[in-house]
Each structure stands twice: as C-alpha cells, then as structure tokens.
C-alpha cells in the first residue's frame, strides 16, 4: 500500500454548499422551489402540541377517582381559562365548598376516572425553521423542510459551542499564531464574527460577549477557559445547544495552536463579508463539525482535486493531530508499507514526515489529518 | 437463558459464513469456514460505517468491509445484490450471511414502571438485556413532579418506550397514571418523522383496557405479558422479544440502507449488545463458570454478567457516557483528575492533561504515539471500567420487594450487605473487549487494567476478545451454535492468564500475604512467596495448565476462609501465566503519598513487564 487515507476538515474558498433545513415534526413548508432566501427567511413552520399540565382533581377535592366526573365543571374538549374553576365539590350539607381551578389556560384533554387526574393542554407552540444561509431553495421535502443551496467559502472547524449565527467577519489577529486576547476587542466588534490566530483567551470570550459579538473563530482554546465561560463541563461531544450569546469555533484543537495558514489566509480574504456560522459539534458516526459558510456569488467553483477519501501521498501537506507533534504542519516524505514499532510498543502503519523545522520524524498514519479542498 | 427473538437453528450443511457488525464508527466483516470438520476464522476486513451523510446507506460500508475480505483471501463474495448466498459452484459467495448492528446510535429506549426499585428496574433489565441504551427510567417514586416527568418524556426522542407496572391482579391506578403522563407528553420517535412512537405495555394485565384507551390513538401500542406477573419472579422474555421485533420494524427499517441489508441477510439483524450478551451466556454455559464480559467502546461501556447455580442471572448494563473517545471527557468529569492521575507514575499539569483528553475526544481515531500518552489513556480506561462496573453491580441485583429469609450467618456477614448478585470470589472468567483492551500494545497491560478496575478476587481467568468478533459470533450462535462455539474457543478468546487475588489486608507492605506452589506441566514445582503490596507471576503458556496450591496467611482469604489453603488446576496465558496479586482487597488502596505511590506503580508495572521501563523512567525523570 503506497498511500493512505484519513478524514480531513474542509477548507475551501469556493464550493456549492447544500443545507437541509428540517422540522423536528411534520409541518408546513413556507417557500417554493427556486425561492431566494436570506439567513432570517422562515422556510418551514410547525406547531408542537402545547405543554400539558396534570392536576389530580380527586386529591384536591378529596373524592374517589371514579367519582370525579360528578364534580367536573369542564369536560374533555372544553377550553378553560387560567384560574377558571375546573371542578368543585360541596360537603357537610353544602356548607363547605372545595374548588379546583386551572393553573393554566388551555383545553381539557383527558379526565381519568382511574387516577383522578385531569390533563389540560396549553396552546400549541409554533416552531419556525429559517434558511440559515443566503441562497436558493433547491428542494422541497414535503411537510418536513427544504434544501437551501449556496455558492461560496466553506470552512469546517474541529470543535465548537453555540448554535447558528450570522455576522460580518472581522480579523482581530493579524497573524495565524497571534493570541486573541480581551484588550483587542472593542465596541466596533458588536454583531461581528471575530477571527483570532492561535488561541482565544478566556478574557477575549468574555469581552466579545460583553460587546455583543456574534462569534469567535481561532486555532485553539484552553479547556479551563471554555468550562469557566460555559459554567459547566462538557462530558460528551455533543454541542450546539448551549445558552450563550455567541458561538465559538476552534479550527485546530485544545491548547494554544496556530491556525493552519490556509484557513487563516482564507478567512482574511473574506473579511468584511457576511458569514453564517454554527458551533454545533457531534463526534460519533456521522461526525458533525462546526462550520463557517460565507456565501459569495462571485466565487468560481472548480472540481475538487482531492479524492473524497483523502488519499495521501508523498508531498502531501498534513497536520499532526496527536502528541508529540500535535498541531504541527508537515509534508509527507514517504509511506512505508510495513508495520513499524512505535514508542508505545504498538505495531502500526506509519509515515515519515518533514516538519517545518526540517526535521524528518515518524508519525502513525492514524495521527495525521488532511485539509481537504 | 436464550434470546427470545425467533431465529431458528439452521440444519442444512454450512461450510462458509460471512458475518458483519455495523458499529457506530466501523463495520467489521469476518469470514468463517469449515476446515477439517471444524469451523475456523479465516480472515477479517473492516471499513468505516456509512449510515450517515454523505453516504446514508449502511450497505456501502458492508460492501467495503466484505471487499477487503475478498482482497485478503482472493475470492469473490459480492454480487450486484449484496453478499452472494449460497456459495456458487464457481466458488463465489458463502453459504450464509448474518449481521448485527449498533450503527446510528443503536437502540435507544425509555422505560417506565410504577416503583423504581421493582417494576421499573425489571423493565430496565428487560431493555438492557435486549441490547438497548436506556435513556431514562420513569417511575411514580422517582422524585420528579408530574410536569417534570412529562417534560422529560417530551424532550427525549427514544426509539421506543417499555411501560410496565403492577403485578397481575394488583392495583391499576399507578400504571394508568404513568400511561396518562406518557399520553400527555405525546412523545415522538427519534427516527421516521411522522411515525407513531412504539410503546410496549408489559404490566398488570388487568390494566390493559385502560392503557389501550389512553394510548392507542396516540402511539403504536403493543401489549405483551407482564414482565413482573408476581413479586417473586420476572418474565422478561415476551418484552425482549417484542423489543427485538420493533427494533427490526421501526429502528432498522428507518435507518438508511437497512431495508436493503435486511434483504441480504437470511436471519434477522440483531442489536450488537444483544449479540454480545448471547455469546457471553453461551460461554458461561459451555465452560460451566460464572463470567463477566466487558466491552469498552468510544461512547459507551457495556458490562455483562452471568451468575447463579444454573447461570440463571444474566445481566447487562450500558454506561452510556463512559467511553474512550466520544465520551472520554465524561470519564474525567465523573471520576475527577485525581482518580485518573493515581494510576500515572509521573507528573503532568492538570491543564495539560485536560487539553490532551479533550483533543482525544475531538479526534477519536488517533492513537498514542508516546508512552506517556499510552499510560494516560490506560489510566482513563481504568476509571471508565471501574465506574461501569460499579454501575453494573448496582443493577445486577436480586428482585427487590421480595421478602427474604436470612440465617444468622448472613445477618453477620458484612460482605453481603449489598444486594448485588456479583460475587467476585465465585467469578471464573472475565472477557475484555473494545479497542483499549483488545489493541493494547502488550497483553500484560490488558491484564493489569482489568485487575485494577474490577478488583478481582480469588481465582479468575483473564481473557480478551482478540479482534472484537463477539457480536458476529453472538448472532451466529442463534443459528449455528456449534460454529460459534468452535470459533469462540479457538480464534476469538486469547487467554491472558489466571489471576490469584487473596482478599484481605496486612498492616504494612512486605508482610507475608500468600505462598503459591505450582506443579508445572513438566512436573517441576515452583514455590513463590508473595509479600503484601506486591505483584508476581509464574510463567505458564496459553494452552498449559498447572496444579496450584495457594496458601494465604492469616489475614487473607482465597474463598475457603482466612488462612485456609486451596488447590486448583489453573490455565496459563500470554500475559504472565499465573498472576499473583497480593496488593490487598476490600479495600485495595493506593498510597496517598505521591512518591510512595509512584514507586509502587513502577514496581507493579515492572513485575508484570507491562511497559518499556527505560522509556517510562525517562518520563518519570523529566516530570520531576
């Protein structure tokens, strides 16, 4: 075997990007095929059944469950206002009256003579899915959603937090290994997506949130800074639903790691343009990586020159993604076919790579990543 | 206890088999053939699973894995319609093709019962035994208010719900109350937008009419026999069978490409953990021993156990967020940095450790290149295994709510204060599988990880699944038990050795703990005195047996009482043969002083020859 393949992250200046925008339950599609949409355009809508409230009427009235029908003032299917009497009973020859009022407005859905429970359903809750990116609706998925297609730059990060956001890209760091720290962030960063170099510090995140920035993209982040900012530790690699005012995307990993030149230069070339970003990350089958999409009608899309499976050969530039060369960019020298015993004692397939320092070192093939174009 | 799903034994002549396991990240294919009258593993191939975008067709990954097999053995197995069966006159294809699957998140269930420690726990056992991940357990007494339960049911989107509650003829109010909460929540299934969520009712049969009235219009309701018909016994079979049926009908049928894959296989596809459980049960019966199996994956750690005089207690637990990649940070979160670092014989900054663990999470397919990275990864695995085993012991219990008669000796026996049926002194074998155990660079590392995490006692055979093929053998055992048993014994299990672990403690390290006299296969007698606080080995090959007499000192017990000798024939293995662990039990403690702890760890690692000690010493020096 003269070559190997490894998954990589996409970093491309021009490509056709398709985003499926789906409702969580069946609903209604609000746009037509061919419609031009912007990130805020609603494309599909559904109603989730309202919140149910259970009230044990039998317990409140102090009667047997099987008797509650006798005391109900409302029947299944009736609407009821908040604090309206749902059921009442009289005792001691009518001298004492006990009332059960509805704690919410809604519809009486179920009256149980077995448990004495009454379920009141609140009004249905609308959910709206928007287009997320500027583009064209190319597919209607009946009652479920749409596919929106756009042309432009597409950059995948390695890890992120926070959901979908939109804003103008603004370079804060001028170099791919520069640290993005708090003082560099000023009031004019409001509503912007900020780009740093090797690291976004904890102070930078706080300052960006304070001035109203929409997101930060940088090479790395310190684990503790992330935990401090979120207020909780992330145990499982599913993110995107954090209740935070801005989304964070790292392109390389945890620690201070210079952003790959190619990624940094591309972002720099896109400064001033509007980007849609999503920090959502899921690392399992069907890996979902955070993304930065910059629609650009003028972009010229070329056929991909890299195999979809990411074939590696001598001369290919890769990134080392594990210690002891973590984060370093290198060029493949050769890919010996035989197994090689590494320091741990494991026999694995390796490659010889030349680091930027000129040193040629051994790296397991599993520990490198290709930056796809 | 056999799995209840209808897979009938095949009686026709089968000489070649391909079995695949579609895992969440990798699809693995094995080829088994009959050679000189015995079934043997011929080769294996693997390829990334293709359930998710951009492929969204599981059969693409299966084709790639089988194609790798084709290249390895130089034959054709694939045709335009999948794996060719039966084998053709020109040699193309195999006689039977089978598959298991945990791709796309496996089988995710929610269970509900009336009393948390009774029917809800029985329902949980039924779901886990069928191979499910249990997302939550709802019960009347779970401490949550009704609206909180409704919110939780709404929020989760399981593949199905198992509802139980009440013994037959008992009160119906509470189980109906749970059904009302489920109805109010209007739960939706994870897969198949617009489909009704399947709910299996396996509770008090007197409540069926009411449950039907409440749920029938909103969900796909299935009714089976009560899983706890009387307090004293469980009847989990019908519920498990229905879970498997629904797994095929709903979960598999909705997952991309599975409709096609189901047509390729002659036998219904089985959930991977269900298949592993099946082979573990077969193994317990075959060797007539009590057994624990553990599979530590990237996202979850499954623990299986078979105990009881007639192997009647089969339990499986899945610790859904204790794994070595996807959920590795959760191991750190649950156990804490100190518990991980106690297994590491050098210092490392906490921030550095946390960043390294996070980087493993976001790039799960990487492997440790340096020894310090390997030691850290194996330290994390010890904690993941330890926590998973604690979880398992808490669920592998006798039935609660049943009155027990205890004799006076049991009343004073402090060791039986817990209700767990896991008795390590009775354990005969532990089977490890999953990347960190199966692919450890030295087998001794696997042995020590299992000893440290499970705190084994008495005599225990340590084994490891060589290439993680237990799922395929599990489904195979349903239809061709002979083939599964032969391959399991000859090609799947690697014997690491037999652990001898006296239970007890001494005042200080160096005191006498145990003497082991081993009569080796060549007649030579080796006597080894092992002091408290130490590890030692007597080399004995994988297929070799020795007669051993173990003489514990007064504070230590090997199963016959303190200070009492015991003799046994034991099997050797590739990781030291006979491993004598005199580090103490109940409790096993690591020194609290950092330098003493590091010295002890180094001593133990050296005794089992688990790492290259020169390299390890280099890391120890640089970290000082």
**CB distance B359–A321 less than 8 Å?**
yes
Is any Cβ of chain B less than 8 angstroms from the Cβ of A24? yes
Is any Cβ of chain B less than 8 angstroms from the Cβ of A367? yes
Q: Which residues of A touch B46 (CB under 8 A)?
A: none
pLDDT at position B565 = 97
The span from the CA of A279 to the CA of A158, in Å, is 10
Is any Cβ of chain A less than 8 angstroms from the Cβ of B117? no
Cβ neighbours of residue B520 under 8 Å, at least 6 residues apart?
B526, B540, B544, B546
Specify whether the CB–CB gap between A368 and A320 falls below 8 A: yes
Q: Which two tokens stand for residue B380?
A: 């994390």
Q: How far is the alpha carbon of A191 from chain B, nearest alpha carbon, in Å?
A: 28
Is any Cβ of chain A less than 8 angstroms from the Cβ of B361? yes
How far, in Å, are A301, A352, B97 from residue A349 at the CA level?
A: 35, 10, 31
Mutation for A interface: B58, B184, B438, B442, most A CBs within 10 A: B184
Residue in B185, B327, B366 closest to A236 by CB: B327
For the stretch A195-198, contacts whose Cβ atoms lie closer than 8 Å and that sit 24 or more positions apart, written own/partner, are A195/A169, A195/A170, A195/A171, A195/A264, A195/A267, A195/A268, A195/A271, A196/A172, A196/A259, A197/A173, A197/A258, A197/A259, A197/A264, A198/A256, A198/A257, A198/A258, A198/A259
Q: What is the CATH number of domain B16-103?
A: 3.30.420.40
Is any Cβ of chain B less than 8 angstroms from the Cβ of A126? no
Length of chain B measured in residues: 624
**CB distance A114–B49 less than 8 Å?**
no
Q: How far is the alpha carbon of A39 from chain B, nearest alpha carbon, in Å?
A: 23
Is any Cβ of chain B less than 8 angstroms from the Cβ of A95? no
**CB distance A284–B194 less than 8 Å?**
no
What is the rounded end-to-end Cα distance, in angstroms, of chain B?
A: 54
User: Residue B284, Cβ neighbours under 10 Å: how many?
Assistant: 24
Residue A269 has pLDDT above 90, yes or no: yes
Is any Cβ of chain B less than 8 angstroms from the Cβ of A122? no
Q: How far is the alpha carbon of B303 from chain A, nearest alpha carbon, in Å?
A: 20
Burial per residue of B483-504, b for 16 or more beta-carbon CB atoms within 10 angstroms, e otherwise: bbbbbbeebbbbbbbbbbbbbb
Closest CA to A173 of A106, A103, A261: A261
pLDDT at position A95 = 72
Q: Which residues of B touch A143 (CB under 8 A)?
A: 194
Specify whether the CB–CB gap between B315 and B392 falls below 8 A: yes
Q: How far is the alpha carbon of A323 from chain B, nearest alpha carbon, in Å?
A: 7
Using a 10 angstrom Cβ sphere, with 0-12 exposed, 13-18 middle and 19 or more buried, the burial of residue B227 is buried
**CB distance B351–A144 less than 8 Å?**
no
Give alpha helix (H) positions in B288-368.
328-335, 337-341, 350-362
The span from the CA of B619 to the CA of B608, in Å, is 19
**CB distance A323–B369 less than 8 Å?**
yes
Closest CA to A156 of A233, A259, A6, A243: A259
Q: Strands B107-113 and B132-139, how do they pair?
A: parallel
Residue in B104, B146, B362 closest to A285 by CB: B104
Closest CA to B131 of B111, B148, B153, B106: B106
Question: In DSSP terms, which residues pair with B582 in a beta bridge?
Answer: B534
Give the DSSP letter string of B130-180.
Answer: TTEEEEEEEETTSS--HHHHHHHHHH---SEEEE--S-TTS--HHHHHHHH
How far, in Å, are A1, A56, A307, A330, B298 from residue A313 at the CA level?
A: 11, 70, 11, 13, 29
Per-residue pLDDT, averaged over A39-57, amounts to 91
pLDDT at position B415 = 43
Question: Which residues of chain B fall below pLDDT 50?
Answer: 1-5, 409-417
The span from the CA of B177 to the CA of B179, in Å, is 5
Q: How far is the alpha carbon of B434 from chain A, nearest alpha carbon, in Å?
A: 16
**CB distance A367–B299 less than 8 Å?**
no
Q: Which two tokens stand for residue B466?
A: 């060589």
Using a 10 angstrom Cβ sphere, with 0-12 exposed, 13-18 middle and 19 or more buried, the burial of residue B225 is middle
Q: Which residues of A touch B21 (CB under 8 A)?
A: none
Which regions of chain A carry the CATH code 3.50.30.10? 4-17+150-295
Specify whether the CB–CB gap between B458 and B439 falls below 8 A: no
Is any Cβ of chain B less than 8 angstroms from the Cβ of A291? no
Q: How far is the alpha carbon of A83 from chain B, nearest alpha carbon, in Å?
A: 18
Q: What is the CATH number of domain A311-372?
A: 2.30.30.30
**In 3-state terms, what secondary structure has residue B123?**
helix
Is any Cβ of chain A less than 8 angstroms from the Cβ of B104? yes
CATH 2.40.50 fits A52-121, yes or no: yes
Question: What value of ipTM does the predicted structure carry?
Answer: 0.84
Q: Which two tokens stand for residue A80?
A: 């009821």
Q: Which residues of A touch B299 (CB under 8 A)?
A: 236, 284
**CB distance A115–B364 less than 8 Å?**
no
Is any Cβ of chain A less than 8 angstroms from the Cβ of B334? yes
Q: Which residues of A touch B255 (CB under 8 A)?
A: none
For chain B, which residues make up each domain, given as ranges?
A: 16-103, 106-261, 276-501+590-623
**CB distance B193–A112 less than 8 Å?**
no
pLDDT digits (tens, 9 = 90+) for A66-114: 999 999 999 999 999 999 999 998 776 667 788 999 999 999 998 999 9
Is any Cβ of chain B less than 8 angstroms from the Cβ of A345? yes
The span from the CA of B172 to the CA of B161, in Å, is 19
Using a 10 angstrom Cβ sphere, with 0-12 exposed, 13-18 middle and 19 or more buried, the burial of residue A54 is buried
The span from the CA of A241 to the CA of B261, in Å, is 34
**In 3-state terms, what secondary structure has residue A324?**
coil
pLDDT digits (tens, 9 = 90+) for B471-524: 999 999 989 988 998 999 889 999 999 999 999 999 999 999 999 999 999 999
Specify whether the CB–CB gap between A75 and A57 falls below 8 A: no
Question: In DSSP terms, which residues pair with A125 in a beta bridge?
Answer: A48
Pick the CATH number of B106-261 from 3.40.50.2300, 2.30.30.830, 1.20.1740.10, 3.40.50.1110: 3.40.50.2300
**CB distance B439–A346 less than 8 Å?**
yes
Give the DSSP letter string of B542-583.
Answer: TT-EEEEEEEE-TT-BSSSSBT--EEEEEE--SS-EEEEEES
Residue in B25, B186, B370 closest to A344 by CB: B370
Q: Which residues of B touch A121 (CB under 8 A)?
A: 184
Closest CA to B214 of B191, B190, B185: B185
Closest CA to B330 of B375, B406, B388, B403: B388
pLDDT at position B1 = 34
Is any Cβ of chain B less than 8 angstroms from the Cβ of A321? yes
Which regions of chain A carry the CATH code 2.30.30.30? 311-372
Q: Which two tokens stand for residue B134?
A: 């249990």
The span from the CA of A337 to the CA of A232, in Å, is 45
The span from the CA of B586 to the CA of B575, in Å, is 25
The span from the CA of B361 to the CA of B43, in Å, is 31
Specify whether the CB–CB gap between B21 and B101 falls below 8 A: yes
Question: In DSSP terms, which residues pair with B590 in a beta bridge?
Answer: none
CATH 3.50.30.10 fits A4-17+150-295, yes or no: yes
**CB distance B361–A322 less than 8 Å?**
no
């Amino acid at each position: 075997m003269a070559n190997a393949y490894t998954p990589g992250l996409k970093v491309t200046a021009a490509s056709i990007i398709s985003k499926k925008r789906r409702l969580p339950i069946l609903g209604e599609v609000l746009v037509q095929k061919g419609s031009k949409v912007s990130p805020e355009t609603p494309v599909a809508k559904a109603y989730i059944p309202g919140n149910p409230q259970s009230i044990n009427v039998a317990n409140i009235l102090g009667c047997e469950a099987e008797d509650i029908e006798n005391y109900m003032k409302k029947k299944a299917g009736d609407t009821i206002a908040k604090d309206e009497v749902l059921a009442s009973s009289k005792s001691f020859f009518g001298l004492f009256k006990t009332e059960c009022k509805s704690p919410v407005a809604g519809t009486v859905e179920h009256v149980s003579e077995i448990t004495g429970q009454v379920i009141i359903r609140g009004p249905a809750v609308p959910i709206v899915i928007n287009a997320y990116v500027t583009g064209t609706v190319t597919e209607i998925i009946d009652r479920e959603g749409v596919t929106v297609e756009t042309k432009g730059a597409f950059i995948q990060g390695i890890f992120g937090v926070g959901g979908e956001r939109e804003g103008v890209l603004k370079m804060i760091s001028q170099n791919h290994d520069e640290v993005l720290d708090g003082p560099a962030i000023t009031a004019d960063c409001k509503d912007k997506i900020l780009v740093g170099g090797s690291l976004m510090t904890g102070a930078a995140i706080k300052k960006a949130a304070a001035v109203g920035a929409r997101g930060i993209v940088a090479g790395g982040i310190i684990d503790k800074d992330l935990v401090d900012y979120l207020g909780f530790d992330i145990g499982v690699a599913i993110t995107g639903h954090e209740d935070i005012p801005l989304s964070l995307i790292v392109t390389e990993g945890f620690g201070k790691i210079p952003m790959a030149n190619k990624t940094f230069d591309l972002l720099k070339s896109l400064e001033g343009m509007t980007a849609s970003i999503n920090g959502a990350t899921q690392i399992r089958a069907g890996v979902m990586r955070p993304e930065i999409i910059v629609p650009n009608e003028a972009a010229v899309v070329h056929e991909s020159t890299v195999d979809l499976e990411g074939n590696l050969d001598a001369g290919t530039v890769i990134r080392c993604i594990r210690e002891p060369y973590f984060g370093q960019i290198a060029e493949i020298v050769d890919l010996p076919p035989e197994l090689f015993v590494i320091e741990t004692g494991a026999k694995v397939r390796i490659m010889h790579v030349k680091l930027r320092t000129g040193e040629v070192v051994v790296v397991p093939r599993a520990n490198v990543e290709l930056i796809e174009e | 206890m056999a799995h209840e799903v209808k897979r009938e034994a095949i009686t026709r002549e089968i000489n070649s088999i391909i079995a695949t396991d579609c895992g969440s990240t990798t699809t693995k294919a094995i080829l088994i053939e009959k050679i000189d009258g015995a079934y043997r593993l011929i080769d294996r191939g693997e390829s990334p699973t293709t359930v998710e975008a951009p492929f969204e067709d599981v059969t693409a990954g299966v084709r790639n894995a089988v194609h790798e097999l084709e290249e390895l053995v130089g034959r054709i197995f694939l045709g335009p319609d999948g794996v060719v069966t039966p084998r053709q006159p020109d040699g193309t294809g195999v006689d039977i093709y089978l598959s298991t699957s945990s791709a796309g998140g496996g089988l995710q269930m929610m269970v509900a019962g009336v009393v948390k420690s009774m029917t809800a726990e029985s329902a949980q056992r039924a779901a886990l035994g069928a191979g499910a991940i249990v997302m939550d357990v709802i019960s009347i007494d779970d401490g949550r208010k009704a609206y909180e339960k409704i919110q939780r049911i709404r929020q989760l989107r399981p593949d199905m719900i198992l509802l139980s509650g009440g013994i037959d003829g008992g009160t119906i109010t509470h189980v109906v109350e749970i059904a009302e909460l489920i109805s109010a929540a209007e739960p939706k299934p994870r897969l198949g937008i617009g489909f009704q969520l399947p709910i299996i009712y396996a509770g008090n049969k007197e409540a069926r009419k009411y449950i039907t009235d409440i749920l029938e219009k909103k969900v796909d309701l299935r009714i089976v026999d009560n899983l706890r018909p009387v307090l004293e016994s469980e009847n989990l079979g019908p519920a498990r069978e229905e879970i498997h049926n629904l797994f095929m009908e709903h979960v598999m049928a909705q997952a991309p490409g599975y409709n096609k894959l189901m047509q390729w296989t002659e036998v219904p596809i089985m959930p991977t953990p269900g298949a592993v459980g099946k082979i573990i049960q077969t193994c317990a019966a075959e060797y007539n021993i009590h057994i624990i199996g553990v599979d530590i994956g990237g996202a979850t750690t499954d623990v299986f156990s078979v105990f009881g005089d007639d192997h009647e207690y089969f339990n499986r637990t899945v610790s859904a967020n204790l794994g070595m990649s996807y959920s590795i940070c959760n191991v750190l979160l649950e156990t804490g940095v100190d518990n991980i670092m106690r297994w590491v014989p050098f210092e490392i900054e906490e921030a550095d450790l946390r960043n390294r663990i996070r980087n493993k999470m976001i790039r799960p397919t990487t492997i440790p290149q340096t020894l310090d990275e390997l030691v850290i990864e194996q330290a994390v695995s010890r904690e993941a295994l330890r926590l998973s085993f604690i979880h398992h012991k808490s669920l592998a219990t006798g039935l609660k709510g049943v009155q027990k008669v205890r004799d006076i000796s049991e009343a004073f026996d402090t060791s039986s204060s817990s209700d767990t049926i896991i008795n390590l002194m009775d354990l005969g074998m532990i089977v490890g599988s999953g990347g960190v155990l199966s692919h450890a660079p030295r087998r001794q590392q696997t042995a020590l990880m299992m000893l440290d995490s499970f705190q084994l006692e008495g005599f225990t055979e340590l084994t490891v699944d060589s290439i993680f093929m237990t799922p395929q053998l599990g489904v195979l055992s349903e239809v061709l038990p002979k083939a599964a048993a032969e391959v399991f014994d000859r090609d799947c299990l690697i014997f690491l050795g037999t652990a001898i672990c006296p239970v007890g403690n001494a005042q200080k390290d160096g005191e006498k703990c145990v003497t082991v006299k081993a009569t080796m296969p060549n007649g030579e007698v080796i006597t080894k005195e092992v002091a408290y606080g130490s590890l030692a080995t007597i080399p004995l090959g994988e297929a070799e047996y020795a007669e051993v007499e173990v003489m514990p000192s007064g504070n230590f017990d090997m199963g016959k009482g303190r200070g009492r000798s015991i003799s046994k024939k034991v099997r050797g293995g590739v990781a030291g043969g006979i491993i004598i662990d005199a580090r103490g039990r109940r409790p096993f403690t690591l020194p609290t002083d950092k330098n003493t702890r590091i010295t002890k760890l180094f001593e133990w690692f050296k005794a089992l020859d688990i790492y290259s000690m020169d390299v390890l010493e280099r890391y120890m020096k640089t970290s000082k």
